[in-house]
Amino acid sequence: MRMKLLTHNLLRSRVKGAAKGYPLAIHATTVETKEADFNPTFIVRMLDRIQWPVVVQAASQVGVSEDKVPQTVPNDPESDQEFLKAAHHLLLEIEVIEGELECPDTGRAFPIKRGIPNMLLNEDEV
Partner 1 sequence: MFAIYHKRKRRTGNNSRDMRLKELEGYLQQVRSFEEPKVLLEQYPTSAHIAAHLLYTMDSTYGDVEDKVVCDFGVGGGILSIGAIMLGAGMCIGCDIDDDALEIARANADEFEIDNLELLRVDVGTRHAGHLPPLPIGSVDTVIMNPPFGTKKNAGIDMNFLEQASRICTGAIYSLNKTSTRAFIQRKCRSFGLEMEVVAELRYDIPQMYKFHKKKSVDVEVDFLRFTPTADDS
Asked if residue 85 lies in contact with residue 100, where contact means CB atoms within 8 angstroms, the answer is no
Give the nearer residue to partner 1 in terms of CB position, either 44 or 56: 44
Dihedral (CA of 75, 84, 95, 64) sign: negative
Backbone dihedral angles phi then psi of residue 13, each to the nearest 5 degrees: -90, 125
Distance in angstroms (rounded) separating the CA atoms of residues 112 and 20: 20
Residue from 10, 32, 60, 107 touching partner 1 (CB under 8 A): that is 10
Using CB under 8 A, which of 29, 33, 107, 116 touches partner 1?
A: 116
The secondary structure element, H or E, covering residue 9 is helix 5-10
> Which C-beta is closer to partner 1: that of 9 or that of 61?
9
Contact with partner 1 (CB under 8 A) among 59, 68, 104, 118: 118
Positions in the binding site for partner 1 (CB under 8 A)? 1, 3-4, 6-7, 10-14, 34, 36-37, 39, 41-42, 45-46, 49, 92, 114-121, 126
